[in-house]
Structure 1
Amino acid sequence: MKQNVGNIERAIRILAGIAIVSLAFTGPKSPWAYLGIIPFLTGIIGWCPPYAVFGISTCKRTK
């Protein structure tokens, strides 16, 4: 898997994922909060499946 998520977007995804998952423990008890695992994992891995399908990449290109 080639990375297709840039560094800034990765940081945002990780923070957003942590915030969403934390709602499962601190806010309204909803199983939907566990969907925060998705942006967290795509941020950690640096690869987003929908980006791959549509040919999108936010990584800087190296020459």
Structure 2
Amino acid sequence: MKTNVGGFDKWARVVVGAVLIGWALTGGPLWAWIGLVPLVTGLFGFCPLYRLLGVNTCPR
């Protein structure tokens, strides 16, 4: 897995993912668990969809 998520994109994913999971934990809708996807991709710095599309927001 080569890193393809970096900078603002990475932090935005972590924040959005954490907010959605927090919402799900406090009685939000079931679909809010989708927040796991941006959280994990932000923490690992790798997005499979970005790889398929040839996108790289990592400065390296």
TM-score (norm: length of structure 1) = 0.86
Same amino acid, percent of matched pairs: 40
Figure out how many residues of one structure are paired with residues of the other and give that number: 60
4+ residue runs over 4 A deviation: none
Cα RMSD (Å) of the superposition?
1.1
Secondary structure of the corresponding residue to residue 34 of structure 2: helix
Larger radius of gyration: 1
**CA-to-partner distance for each residue in 1:5-44, whole Å, 9 max, x for gaps?**
012211110010000111112253x210111000000000
Runs of 5+ in structure 2 lacking a partner? none
TM-score (norm: length of structure 2) = 0.90
Q: What aligned pairs does 1:1-63 form with structure 2 within 5 A after superposition?
A: 1-28=1-28, 30-61=29-60
